[in-house]
Amino acid sequence: MRVFVTGATGWVGSAVVRELIAHGHKVVGLSRSEEKAAGLAADGAEVLLGMVGDLDLIRKGASEADAVIHTAFNHDFSRFAANAAEDRVAIETMGSVLKGSDRPIVVTSGLGLLAPGRIATEDMPAPPVSDRWPRASEAAAEALAADGVRGAAVRLPPSVHGEGDHGFIPILINLAREKGEAAYIGDGLNRWCGVHRDDAARCYRLVLETGVTAHAYHPIDDEEGVPFRRIAETIGKGLGVPVVSKTPEEAADYFTWFGMFAGMDMPASSALTRERIGWAPTGPGFIEDIGGDYYYR
């Protein structure tokens, strides 16, 4: 297949590009900088230089592809609502040129607010778009599916880990380093799950190769939910700092804007994904990996 990948130089997208090329697919990758485009080309991809907000450009990329994988998203949470709106328009724009064909679009979503206090499964509907959670990636894909486009979402866990990670775990590590202690909220029993970056990339490929037959997929490693306290303990050990519990009031000062995520309960199952597309994780598990030396250099 000729696959158009947005976010092709990002943490997840670059791994998806390499995974697709390694298995014989042709990739056209969207890159917002010439410097990153050089690395993309070195991986064997064709480069489309520009931003995801350039609607004519992404329309062209989608129109000339057999499939679209959308991993781009601006994670500046100070303007989360605006970024979510831009993301929705991008998905709608690319999807508009896929109507009337059998060409699929696979978008990227997350597990936040999907099933608080329960283990999220692939058959659960996406949470409604709201002021608290404005990201509408999955809602946009569902609207396209209702209009005859083969659309689906890969729901990534809060940690897509591996060497070079610059996501949520490094944020927690930097906070612990700055504050001199690794923290959790209350009893720390709210759960996070994770997946190794390469395992996540393989999931995207298998979703395409098996025909995009479901509305959502979960690349989650063998632990459906790790208590946040255990994450803090791993970070504390890695940095050699104390591990402490924070009250909600203390947590607001310690975590600041990140407190919403630190307090989320986000366990998830990947049982249906494994059954439907034959996916299984092969990389290191969540706690094993974030305990690695490279996270603390």
Topology of 162-193+223-267+284-295 in CATH?
UDP-galactose 4-epimerase; domain 1 (3.90.25)
Q: What is the pLDDT of residue 230?
A: 98
Average pLDDT over residues 224-231: 97
User: Residue 78's pLDDT band (boundaries 50, 70, 90)?
Assistant: confident
Q: What is the pLDDT of residue 293?
A: 96
**Statement: residue 93 has pLDDT above 90:** yes
Q: Do domains 2-158+195-217 and 162-193+223-267+284-295 have the same CATH topology?
A: no
Q: What is the pLDDT of residue 112?
A: 86
User: Residue 133's pLDDT band (boundaries 50, 70, 90)?
Assistant: confident
Q: What is the pLDDT of residue 124?
A: 96
Average pLDDT over residues 211-219: 97
Report domain extents, the chain.
2-158+195-217, 162-193+223-267+284-295
Determine phi and psi for 109, rounding to 5 degrees: -135, -170
Q: Which two tokens stand for residue 125?
A: 């509907």
**Statement: residue 252 has pLDDT above 80:** yes
- Report the predicted TM-score, pTM, of the whole model to 2 decimal places: 0.96
3-state secondary structure the chain: CEEEEECCCCHHHHHHHHHHHHCCCEEEEEECCHHHHHHHHHCCCEEEECCCCCHHHHHHHHHCCCEEEECCCCCCHHHHHHHHHHHHHHHHHHHHCCCCCCCCEEEEEECCCCCCCCCECCCCCCCCCCCCCCCCHHHHHHHHHHCCCCEEEEEECCEEECCCCCCHHHHHHHHHHHHCCEEEECCCCCEECEEEHHHHHHHHHHHHHCCCCCCEECCCCCCCCEEHHHHHHHHHHHHCCCEEEECHHHHHHHHHHHHHHHCCCCCECCHHHHHHHCCCCCCCCHHHHHCCHHHCC
User: Residue 184's pLDDT band (boundaries 50, 70, 90)?
Assistant: very high
Average pLDDT over residues 83-92: 96
Average pLDDT over residues 99-122: 94
When mean pLDDT is compared across 81-85, 178-182, 191-195, the lowest value belongs to 81-85
**Statement: residue 84 has pLDDT above 90:** yes
**Statement: residue 232 has pLDDT above 90:** yes
Average pLDDT over residues 266-279: 98
CATH of domain 2-158+195-217: 3.40.50.720
pLDDT, tens digit (0-9, with 9 covering 90-100), for 48-76: 999 999 999 999 999 999 999 999 998 88
Find out whether 190 and 115 touch, Cβ atoms under 8 Å.
Answer: no
What is the chain's mean pLDDT, rounded? 96
User: Residue 80's pLDDT band (boundaries 50, 70, 90)?
Assistant: confident
| CA end-to-end span of the chain | 39
Q: Report the amino acid identity of residue 55.
A: L
